Structure 1
């Protein structure tokens, strides 16, 4: 889909609103035609050449009425424009967010979360600008045609001599906007490097101090600052130069009119009213040329925005962005005022949810914690009895599960295992053996590869939608915590019922830590949970998972930051809480390996061996290395 097709599809999403908006702004831009003619008659009446019999005060009254009428038209125009732009922007964000959330969690977005937020905000705004300015171009073109016809009838020679140089000057200036775009892009890139460097420095203060690298880091930051200063200086100078050309083009035209009008007025071919009309229309004709240039600039930026938004689609058609979908902005069955108020609140919440949903989705890309993915996908309708959650887990079978990363070719191959209800299965192996890839493939956080997954003997067609609370809950290797209260980090929007939160805190061995916090569960833990220790962050993630009371719990190296005693308590309390809990645990810790009913040893993306710890100590060199290696570390 090219840029013009993209623009056209946006316009046609709400074609009636667009055409109403276009009509409103066309009338607004045509409105100065009448005041211009009235101004001509006003000055002609002062010299006795007016053909109207209203008198001076009558003409002044007409001018005031025309000005008030145009003010009313502009208010209406802003209302129609805001309504159209709001719906157009929300459609793009809605479709883009829906597409992202339908992707496997570990590959939902191909860029960093911060850059993805920029796409949602800046690129959608650029698309709105281009569509909105197309209305202005149409209205101003109509004005240019009508005013040009009037001026040519008065004096064709002066019309050409005055407006042709103005058109040439502004057109030349518009051509320079290509260089301005280049300078602006360089300025934004330099600014992003500076802000990124600030973020890196704040996030790695301890590493910088330990390495004694303060001077080198400061020098690097200073070089980024110098580059930004130079880029912004070029951008500002070019912007000021173009603004000067645009703002002074009216003065240039007025000077030309003064030079040419004198001779014609002495000959009696040109009146004072004609002079006033030329000067009055000159401003709007210059605005027309300038705005056409702006629209061309916005259209070019729209091309870049389309490419950036298409990048987030990861191969899907760009038509996904403009698919017609309801935005659910209206409330049914409520009073007009209540509905209007709730619609406003919903409009705000939609924006907030788009951003927070995007951030949540991006966190899922990295970690996909404890069913956050599931809560976002509950709107999708299941297709069979198992997907409706009508069957508790009795047995989970995985056969031939395989997945390979496209860039490296590494992954997992031909994985087979079964989980019985109430079992504690541990997946272990050296770094890079495929443990995390295994659980991500099972849960649908990676695109579906080869193999089958069956829940109680029934095939699972879409693991990403299926393995969500209350069927499954997942805690990732690196917990993702938000700058919010501890309570909200655990619940993630879930309603607090009875003693579920207290029980989850107890099972996660977190109740003592909560009691030590200044505001308990209402303590704000800071960005990424910086106010918590590593062990507290992992246990917070465990509580987040346990509060959902799922059939299957999946832990990806949860206890790596826990001491042996705390880890032992966590497993014991978990099974005290639910004796039939089914766990799939990625770990190399002896506490988990000793408790395991079944152990799967991974090596190079395959299952090298499986069995109990006693059996594997006898016949698996990899397992013995992990077992005794962990023992030496503990010593």
Structure 2
């Protein structure tokens, strides 16, 4: 997609609103033509050359009317411009975020979260600015066409001198394109590094303090800040230099007009009114030149913004960036498909309970290291409790993530009740499955909101999830119970509390399959045993797939899958594996006991 095609797609996103915006500003820019002609009549009336013959007060009344009309158009134009710009920016950000959320977890974004903020903020703002300025260019072009026609009828030579600077501006802007894009890209990248560094520092405060690395981290941040200062200075300086050229090139035209007008007025071919008309229009011609130059600058910078936003799409079609859709801008407005999705997530699961999940030949290799899983095959029955275990680095978490579509599988098939699962990333969500990750991700919000994450608490689902995750004692001793704010990444909770909060978040969503990725590693033996017991009592026919090396989980398993070097080494019950698997025996006797 070229930058011009990108611009056209954004313009046609809301064509009626864009047309109203363009009409309002075009009228705003055309209105000054009338005051120019009125001033021409006024000065000609002083020498008896005027044609209107309405007197001074009549001319003043016309000037006031033109000024009021222009104010009205500015008011209308501001409303339409804000409405259009807001919607355009929101559709870009929504499409970017929507695409990211649909990607497997490992491919969600190719940059750090802090850097991604720069893409969502700066590059979208740059694009919004370019599209908005296209309206001004259209209106000013209309003004230039009408005023040129009027001025050419008066004097061709002087009219050409008025618009000569515009040719200079266009030429300069074209010559400066490559350097301008280079400086803008460098400034965007340096800003992204600073934003990313801030995000990393805030996310790893405890690690930095424990390592005593405060000075080194600050020095690194200072280097990023200095680099950003230099790149931003170059970008700003070059941009201001271009603006200066755009604004001041008209001075050449002013000087030539003044020199030529004196000669023509002495010969009688040029009236005082004609001179006032040229001088008056010259002010707006300056604006035409400046704004055309700014639009060309913004258009070239939009090329940089487009390239950066496409990086977040990671090879997807550029059309995904400008896909049309509904924006929910009013409170309580939700599309029918969202309501249907909610209803689907809350539907009873006795319609088609999980009978069998079959995985065959599942493989995934990390591109950078070549490590991963190879040819994984197993079956999981409804209501069963299956544990995946193995040494560190054996591929347990990779198996879970590839199964759930959080990693894009290289090969293999997955079937649910005999039906192929074409897109695991969208299939393995409530009500089919719910997942608790190895590393809990909590937000600086209340514990209640961290567990629900927008899910409706119906029929005591939250209370059951709290009970099954053995959190009732902790909540009773928190300052504000479920309304306690847990802080960024849940820093106000212990490791065990964070894991159980993640488990409660999963359990509050009714599902046929619950996937636990080592969520009990920070729990004491007694609490872990309670959690498994309560889970078995309250989950009915739901199946559980658990990654763990803990005895409490292994002892309760119907089936255990032992991983080694990315492959399944052996399967069976505790008794079978203790008799046949050396790897399992090492794990079992090295695991915490019940005592």
Q: Normalised by the size of structure 1, how large is the TM-score?
A: 0.84
Q: 1:258 to 1:479 in 2, by over 3 A?
A: same
Q: Is the 8 A contact 1:170 1:249 kept in 2?
A: no
Q: Is the 8 A contact 2:126 2:305 kept in 1?
A: yes
Tell me which of 380, 387, 408 is aligned to 1:419. 380
Shift of 1:57: 1.1
Which residue is equivalent to 1:30? 30
Equivalent-residue separation in structure 2 for 1:321 and 1:557 (angstroms): 37
- Secondary structure in 2 aligned to 1:558? coil
- Secondary structure in 2 aligned to 1:291? helix
1:479 aligns with 2:440: yes
Please, which moves more after superposition, 477-486 or 95-104?
Answer: 95-104
Equivalent-residue separation in structure 2 for 1:547 and 1:380 (angstroms): 15
Which residue is equivalent to 1:378? 341
Q: Deviations over 1:171-198 (max 9, x none)?
A: 5377547545544443443344334334
Equivalent-residue separation in structure 2 for 1:248 and 1:346 (angstroms): 51
Shift of 1:512: 1.6
Q: Is the 8 A contact 2:162 2:253 kept in 1?
A: yes
Q: Is the 8 A contact 1:170 1:245 kept in 2?
A: no
- Secondary structure in 1 aligned to 2:379? strand
Please, which moves more after superposition, 133-142 or 248-257?
Answer: 248-257
Which residue is equivalent to 2:533? 572
User: Where do 1:250-329 residues align within 5 Å?
Assistant: 253-325=253-325, 327=326
Q: 1:238 to 1:102 in 2, by over 3 A?
A: closer
Q: 1:150 to 1:227 in 2, by over 3 A?
A: same
Q: 1:95 to 1:187 in 2, by over 3 A?
A: closer
Please, which moves more after superposition, 511-520 or 110-119?
Answer: 110-119
Q: Deviations over 1:506-550 (max 9, x none)?
A: 221211211222211111111111111111111100111111232
Equivalent-residue separation in structure 2 for 1:194 and 1:601 (angstroms): 44
Which residue is equivalent to 2:142? 142
1:504 aligns with 2:457: no
Q: 1:486 to 1:310 in 2, by over 3 A?
A: same
Which residue is equivalent to 1:595? 556
- Runs of 5+ consecutive residues of structure 1 not aligned to the other structure: 330-342, 351-374
Equivalent-residue separation in structure 1 for 2:169 and 2:94 (angstroms): 43
User: Where do 1:107-256 residues align within 5 Å?
Assistant: 107-165=107-165, 167-168=167-168, 171-172=171-172, 175-176=175-176, 179-249=179-249, 253-256=253-256
Equivalent-residue separation in structure 2 for 1:377 and 1:108 (angstroms): 26
Q: Is the 8 A contact 1:486 1:524 kept in 2?
A: yes
Tell me which of 570, 573, 585 is aligned to 1:609. 570
- Secondary structure in 1 aligned to 2:434? strand
Which residue is equivalent to 1:367? none
Please, which moves more after superposition, 228-237 or 604-613?
Answer: 228-237
Q: Deviations over 1:372-430 (max 9, x none)?
A: xxx99937999xxx998721223333233233344444332222222233322110112
Which residue is equivalent to 1:10? 10
Equivalent-residue separation in structure 2 for 1:114 and 1:199 (angstroms): 5
Equivalent-residue separation in structure 2 for 1:464 and 1:221 (angstroms): 37
Shift of 1:486: 0.5
Tell me which of 477, 491, 502 is aligned to 2:452. 491
Tell me which of 516, 530, 550 is aligned to 2:511. 550
Please, which moves more after superposition, 48-57 or 122-131?
Answer: 122-131
Q: Is the 8 A contact 1:166 1:253 kept in 2?
A: no
Instruction: Give the aligned CA root-mean-square deviation in angstroms.
Output: 3.3
Equivalent-residue separation in structure 1 for 2:384 and 2:16 (angstroms): 60
Q: Is the 8 A contact 2:44 2:273 kept in 1?
A: yes
Shift of 1:485: 0.7
- Secondary structure in 2 aligned to 1:554? strand
Equivalent-residue separation in structure 1 for 2:349 and 2:500 (angstroms): 30
Q: Deviations over 1:237-295 (max 9, x none)?
A: 44444444444455554444333333333333333222221121112212222222222
Shift of 1:555: 0.3
Equivalent-residue separation in structure 2 for 1:449 and 1:214 (angstroms): 42
Equivalent-residue separation in structure 2 for 1:474 and 1:570 (angstroms): 16
- Runs of 5+ consecutive residues of structure 2 not aligned to the other structure: none
Q: 1:468 to 1:163 in 2, by over 3 A?
A: closer
Equivalent-residue separation in structure 2 for 1:123 and 1:185 (angstroms): 10
Equivalent-residue separation in structure 2 for 1:281 and 1:587 (angstroms): 79
Tell me which of 322, 327, 330 is aligned to 1:344. 330
Which residue is equivalent to 2:580? 619
Q: 1:75 to 1:166 in 2, by over 3 A?
A: same
Shift of 1:603: 1.3
1:55 aligns with 2:51: no
Equivalent-residue separation in structure 2 for 1:615 and 1:588 (angstroms): 16
Q: Deviations over 1:96-121 (max 9, x none)?
A: 44444443344344333444444344
Q: Is the 8 A contact 1:174 1:293 kept in 2?
A: no
Which residue is equivalent to 2:72? 72
Shift of 1:3: 2.1
Which residue is equivalent to 1:563? 524
- Secondary structure in 1 aligned to 2:570? strand
Which residue is equivalent to 2:397? 436
Q: Normalised by the size of structure 2, how large is the TM-score?
A: 0.89
Please, which moves more after superposition, 265-274 or 422-431?
Answer: 265-274
- Secondary structure in 1 aligned to 2:562? strand
Q: Deviations over 1:442-493 (max 9, x none)?
A: 2222335433333334443433333222331110001111111100110111
Q: 1:586 to 1:6 in 2, by over 3 A?
A: same
Please, which moves more after superposition, 527-536 or 169-178?
Answer: 169-178
Equivalent-residue separation in structure 2 for 1:126 and 1:231 (angstroms): 17
